[in-house]
Structure 1
Amino acid sequence: MKIAIFGATGRVGQRVMDYALENQFEVRALVRSHHHMKETPNVEWIYGDAKNAEDVNTTIEGCDLVFSGLSTDKSDTLSQSIPNIIDAMVSEDIQRIVTIGTAGILNSRGEPNKFRFQTSESKKKLTFAAEEHAKVYQALSASHLEWTIVCPTYLPDGDIEGSIRCEKNFLPEDGKKITVGDTAKFAYQELFDKNYVGSRVGVCY
C-alpha cells in the first residue's frame, strides 16, 4: 500500500505520514524545499509544487490512497492544487482522498444554506482561508471520488487526548478545539474506515 501525501511537512500531514510508516505503508510526499528531503525508510520525496500538474502527477502515480494536509499558506495554493490532484487521481484510477479543511466550511446551524464562515458562528474576521477551503469542497463535490474533508475547529499543537466528537457536515455543539494529534489520527483512520465518504466532518472535543 502506497499513500501520496501533500503537505507532509505541515503539522497534521507530518503526523499522518508517521502513522502510515508505523503501519508499514510506503509514502510518496511532495515537498517544496530540498531541506525536508531527508533519507527516510519507505518515504519517496518528490521535489515540486502542488500547483504544478506534472509534479502532482508524479506524486500520485502508482499510489493507492491520497491525503492532503495542504494549508492556504496565505495564497491560492488550495484552489490551484485541488484540480491537479483530482485530475491525477482520475487518470490513475485512485478513488480515496482525505483532506484537512476548516470548521468554517461546515454548515451553519442558524442560517441554512450558508457556511459557518459566512455567519456569526465563526469568530474569524478574515475569510480568505475559509474561501480557499470552500473551493476545495466544491471541487471535490463535483468529482466522483471517494472524498472526505476533516474539518477541525481551533487546532492547537498537542498529542492525542481522545474523546473526539464528530458530526457529518456540522461542528458538534459547543465544540471549542481539537489537538493536532487527534485530528491527524482521525484523518488517518478515516482514509481506511470510510465513515464519511462524500461529506465534510466536523471534529472537536
Structure 2
Amino acid sequence: MKLLLLGATGRVGCEIARLAAQDGHQVNVLVRTPEKLPSDIKVRQVFRGDATVKEDIEQAIEGCDAVVSALGTDGGTVLTDAVPLLITAMQERSIKRLLTMGTAGILNSRTDPGLLRYQSSESKRKLTRAAREHHEAYLAIKESYLDWTIICPTYLPDGPPTGNYRTEKDYLPLEGMQISTGDTAEFAYKQLSSEEFLCSRVGIAY
C-alpha cells in the first residue's frame, strides 16, 4: 500500500510511520522540518512542505492509496486549514481511506446526551480551543464521501505498545484515563486494514 502520512514528526505519527515502513508499505511523508524525522524510519519519500498549502498536499498525495493524518492543533488552525485541502485532494484522486488522530473531547458524552465530551460536565479541561478545532475537523470529515476513522485517545503519555487496551465506537471506554503513544499508534495502524470502525470515531484507553 502507498500511504501519505501527515504529522510524521509527532509522537504518534513517527510510530505509525515506523510500523508502516517495517511492514513494507511505501510511505510518503509531508513535513515542515524533515530533519526532525527519526533516522531509523525508512520512508519512500520525504516532502518538505506544509499541510495547509494546497500545492504541497497535492504533490505528496500523488499515487497514494490511503492517507493517515497525525496532525495536531499546534496552537493554531493547522488542523482546520489542512483538513478541507486534504479531503478535496483525496476526492479528486478517488482515494477513499482516511485515518486521522482526534481527541477524546470530540467523543459523545455519557453524562450529557446530545453533547460531546468537551462540551459536557465530563470534561475537566478549562480550555477548549484544541477540542473545538478537532470538532470542526471532524464535522468536515463526516460530511465527506471518504471511508474515514478518527482515533480519539484520552491523556497521552509517551510509552511503548502493550497491546492491552480498550476501544469503543463514538465513546471513551468507561473510566478510561490514559493511553500510551505506542498503543495509540499500533491501534491506529491496524485500522488501515480494518473496517470495524469505518465512518466513526473510536475512543481508546486502558
Q: Normalising to structure 1: TM-score of the pair? A: 0.97
Q: CA deviation at 1:34?
A: 4.2
CA distance in 2, matches of 1:163, 1:18: 20
User: Against the structure 1 CA distance between its residues 106 and 40, is the aligned structure 2 distance closer, same or farther, given a 3 Å change threshold?
Assistant: closer
Matched residue, 2:158: 157
Q: CA deviation at 1:48?
A: 0.8
**Partner SS, residue 202 of structure 1:** strand
Matched residue, 1:122: 123
CA distance in 2, matches of 1:41, 1:82: 26
Matched residue, 2:66: 65
Q: CA deviation at 1:36?
A: 3.4
* Residues 162-186 of structure 1, C-alpha deviations (whole Å, 9 max, x = no match): 2211110000110010000000000
* 1:32-43 alignment, distance < 5 Å: 32-36=32-36, 41-43=42-44
* Residues 124-172 of structure 1, C-alpha deviations (whole Å, 9 max, x = no match): 1100100111011100110010000000011000001222111100001
Q: CA deviation at 1:86?
A: 0.3
User: Against the structure 1 CA distance between its residues 41 and 119, is the aligned structure 2 distance closer, same or farther, given a 3 Å change threshold?
Assistant: closer
CA contact (8 A) 2:31 2:49 kept: yes
Matched residue, 1:7: 7
What is the number of residues matched between the two proteins? 205
Matched residue, 2:132: 131
User: Against the structure 1 CA distance between its residues 107 and 185, is the aligned structure 2 distance closer, same or farther, given a 3 Å change threshold?
Assistant: same
2:195 corresponds to 1:197: no
- The one-letter code of the counterpart of 1:130 is A
Q: CA deviation at 1:35?
A: 2.2
**Partner SS, residue 11 of structure 1:** coil
Give me the CA root mean square deviation.
1.3
Q: CA deviation at 1:43?
A: 2.5
**Partner SS, residue 63 of structure 1:** coil
CA distance in 2, matches of 1:104, 1:40: 31
Matched residue, 1:51: 52
Q: Normalising to structure 2: TM-score of the pair? A: 0.96
CA distance in 1, matches of 2:52, 2:75: 14
Q: CA deviation at 1:39?
A: 9.3
Matched residue, 2:145: 144
Q: CA deviation at 1:92?
A: 1.1
User: Against the structure 1 CA distance between its residues 39 and 117, is the aligned structure 2 distance closer, same or farther, given a 3 Å change threshold?
Assistant: closer
CA contact (8 A) 2:18 2:41 kept: no
Q: CA deviation at 1:190?
A: 0.5
User: Against the structure 1 CA distance between its residues 93 and 111, is the aligned structure 2 distance closer, same or farther, given a 3 Å change threshold?
Assistant: same
Q: Percent identity?
A: 47
- The one-letter code of the counterpart of 2:119 is Q
CA distance in 1, matches of 2:34, 2:4: 18
**Partner SS, residue 45 of structure 1:** strand
Q: Which runs of 5+ in 1 are unaligned?
A: none
* Residues 86-136 of structure 1, C-alpha deviations (whole Å, 9 max, x = no match): 001001110001101000000001111111001120111100100111011
